[in-house]
Amino acid sequence: MGMNRWWGGRGRFGEDERRLSVLDLVNSGTLDLRLASLLWVIMEHRASVLVAAGPSFAGKTTTLNVLLDFLRPEVKEVRLSGYDEEFGFLATSEASNTYIVAEEFSDYGDYIWGETAQKAFDLMRDGYALGGTIHARTAREVAYILNQYLGLPIETIARLDAIVTLGVARRHGYELVRRIDSVSLFVPVGDKTGIQTIASNELGGGTFAIVDDKTLQTALAKRFAPGKVTVWRAMTERELFLRKVLSAGKIDRDEVRKGILGFYKSNPP
C-alpha cells in the first residue's frame, strides 16, 4: 500500500478526510488481525488511550480513529476544538458514555496543551474516557512528557488505560512502512504504577507477539472488570469476525463500522 492510499486528503488537526478502516491497516501491514482483535477488546471497555510516535506522518491520527471505531454504539464521541476549548459539552453529557478525543497533545500551534490538556486529563477522574495522540517514541516517554512538560502528577497519568506506539521505516528507499510497535497498559505494582507491554512488533517486521493468555487475562483484569468470557476467547471471536469481513472484501470504513455495530447487536454485554 503506497503513501497516497494511507493518507488521502487532510482535514483540520491532520484528520483524514476519508477515514481508513482497521482492515485497511491490516492490508498495509500496520497490524494483523490478532492484534486488531486485542485492540477491539480493549476499546470496547471504553479505554482511555494515547497513540504515540516519534516522527510526524507516522499515522497517529489514522490509528486513533481506527481504535475509536471499536467503541460500543452507545458511546458518544466529543472532539476537543483546540487550546481554546470551553468544554461546553460537560453541561449535557454523561461521563459514563462519553469519549473525549484530543487530536494531538502538543504545545505547538492549535493543539491541546496547558490548562486545556490538564482539564481533559482531570475529567478521567470523573468517569470520562480520553483518547488522543502525542509525539513520543515509547510508553515511558509518554509518561515522562506528560509529567515533566505538562505537569501532570503520576496518579493522573495512570488513569490512562493504554498506550499504542507506532514506528516508521522506509522500504525500497522511498515507501514509508508504518507499523504498531507496542501496546502497553498502566497497571498497579504494589502501591505504585507500572507499564506492562502486552503486545509488540518482533524484529521490526510484520510479526506481532502478544503475551500468553494467563498474563493477558491478569493484565486486563487490573484495568477493566473481567467478563464471563476470557480475553483470548473474546479475541478469537472478534478475529474470526474481522477475517470474514476481510474475505468478503468489505474493507471500507463505513462497511467495517457497520459490521462492528452489528456484532455488538448480536453480542450484547
Residues 131 and 45: their CA atoms lie apart, in Å, by 13
Mean pLDDT of the chain: 89
Is residue 161 within 8 Å of 42, Cβ to Cβ? yes
17-63 pLDDT per residue, tens:
578 999 999 999 999 999 999 999 999 999 999 999 998 888 999 99
Query: Nine-digit cell at 30?
Result: 500496520
Where are the domains positioned within the chain?
A: 3-253
pLDDT for the residue 108: 87
At 173, the pLDDT band (50, 70, 90 cuts) reads low
**Cell numbers describing residue 188:** 498497579
Residue 9: pLDDT above 50? no
The Cα–Cα gap between 69 and 77 comes to 10
What is the value of pTM for the model shown?
Answer: 0.91
User: What sections of 69-191 are H helices per DSSP?
Assistant: 114-122, 139-148, 154-157
Q: What is 193-218 written as a DSSP string?
A: EEEEEEEEEETTTTEEEE--HHHHHH
Q: From residue 75, how far is each of 69, 118, 176, 215 by CA, in Å? A: 11, 23, 34, 28
What pLDDT score was predicted for residue 10? 41
Mean pLDDT value across residues 135-154: 96
Residue 5 in this model has a pLDDT that exceeds 80? no
Lowest mean pLDDT among 138-147, 196-205, 225-234: 225-234
* CATH of region 3-253, choose from 3.40.190.10, 3.10.20.90, 3.40.50.300, 2.40.33.10: 3.40.50.300
Alpha-helix residue ranges (DSSP H) falling in 71-207: 114-122, 139-148, 154-157
List, for residues 96-112, the tens digit of each pLDDT value.
999 999 989 999 888 99
Q: Rounded mean pLDDT of 191-197?
A: 89
CA-based nearest residue to 7, from 50, 63, 54: 63
Query: Which has the higher per-residue pLDDT, 239 or 14?
Result: 239
For the chain, percent of residues with pLDDT exceeding 90: 74
- As a whole number, mean pLDDT of residues 251-268 equals 95
Cα(172)–Cα(79) distance, integer angstroms: 38
**Among residues 46, 44, 23, 200, which one has the least CA distance to residue 124?**
46
Q: Give yes or no for residue 2 having a pLDDT over 50.
A: no
206-255: pLDDT as tens digits: 789 999 999 999 999 988 876 667 999 999 999 999 999 999 999 999 99
pLDDT score for 1: 28
pLDDT for the residue numbered 155? 93
Question: Residue 98's beta-bridge partner residues?
Answer: 76
* Cα 63 from Cα 182, distance rounded (Å): 13
- Per-residue pLDDT, averaged over 179-203, amounts to 89
**Rounded to whole angstroms, how far apart are CA atoms 128 and 93?**
10
CA dist 235 and 35 (Å) reads 9
Which pLDDT band holds residue 140 (cuts at 50, 70, 90)?
very high
Scanning the structure block, which residue is given the C-alpha cell 452489528?
A: 262
Between 3 and 125, residue with greater pLDDT: 125
Q: What integer pLDDT is reported at residue 89 of this predicted model? A: 97
Q: b/e per residue, 148-187, with b = 16+ CB within 10 A? A: eebebeeebbbbbbbbbbbbbeeeeeeebbbbbbbbbbbb
Helix or strand holding residue 243 (H, E) = helix 231-247
Mean pLDDT on 155-160: 95
Rounded distance, CA 63 to CA 235, Å? 19
Strands of the sheet with 162-171, listed across from one edge: 76-79, 98-105, 129-135, 49-53, 162-171, 175-189, 192-202, 207-210
